[in-house]
């Protein structure tokens, strides 16, 4: 799947047919000696802690960006919790109050960042 100088093409083609296979899952060119390892490491089905099944090669991205159980931090208290629990926690946590350092009034945590502009 790469450009080859015409003078080398026949020898290159013979070499590829003898030594290279196309992966049936991802269509990458893989040395025949590494095909079994490639399939086992990249394409074997694994189960995430959220019980979703996927290829091993996709697990890292899933865990980092779309897994409902991936760890995230609450914007108000910096406690780490599962993404699927974040919204409920932040509704509760943002409704708690703290005194404003400037005016001393008790302000909802979710309004604390905007409050200094309002209290002068």
Residue (of 48, 56, 64) closest to 25 by Cα position: 56
* Alpha helix ranges (H) inside the chain: 9-19, 35-38, 56-61, 83-94, 115-119
Do 50 and 25 lie in one domain? The reply is no
Do 82 and 62 share a structural domain?
Answer: no
Same structural domain, 48 and 84 = no
Are the C-beta atoms of 63 and 54 separated by less than 8 Å?
Answer: no
Backbone angles phi, psi at 68, to 5 degrees: -65, -15
**Quick check: helix, strand or coil at residue 53?**
strand
pLDDT of 85-112, one tens digit each?
Answer: 999 999 999 999 998 888 888 989 988 8
Distance CA 31, CA 65 (A): 32
C-beta atoms surrounding 107 within 10 Å: 19
Question: pTM of the predicted model, to two decimals?
Answer: 0.62
Residues 63 and 81 in one domain: no
Indicate if 1 and 37 belong to the same structural domain: yes
**How many domains is the chain built from?**
3
Distance of CA 14 to CAs 34, 53, 119, Å? 19, 39, 78
Range of the domain at 85: 74-117
32 and 8 co-located in one domain: yes
Q: Are 1 and 38 in the same domain?
A: yes
Is the domain of 1 the same as that of 17?
Answer: yes
Domain identity same for 100 and 63: no
User: Residues 8-59: pLDDT tens digits?
Assistant: 888 988 888 899 999 998 889 999 999 999 998 888 899 999 999 999 889 9
């Amino acid at each position: 799947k790469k450009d080859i100088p015409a003078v080398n093409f026949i020898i290159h083609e013979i070499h590829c047919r003898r030594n290279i296979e196309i992966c049936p899952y991802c269509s990458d060119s893989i040395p025949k000696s590494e095909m079994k390892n490639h399939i086992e490491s990249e394409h074997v089905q694994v189960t995430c802690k959220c019980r979703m099944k996927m290829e091993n090669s996709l697990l890292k991205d899933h865990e980092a960006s779309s897994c409902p159980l991936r760890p995230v931090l609450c914007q108000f208290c910096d406690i780490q919790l599962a993404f699927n629990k974040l919204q409920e926690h932040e509704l509760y946590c943002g409704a708690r109050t703290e005194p404003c350092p400037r005016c001393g009034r008790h302000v909802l945590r979710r309004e604390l960042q905007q409050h200094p502009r309002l209290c002068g």
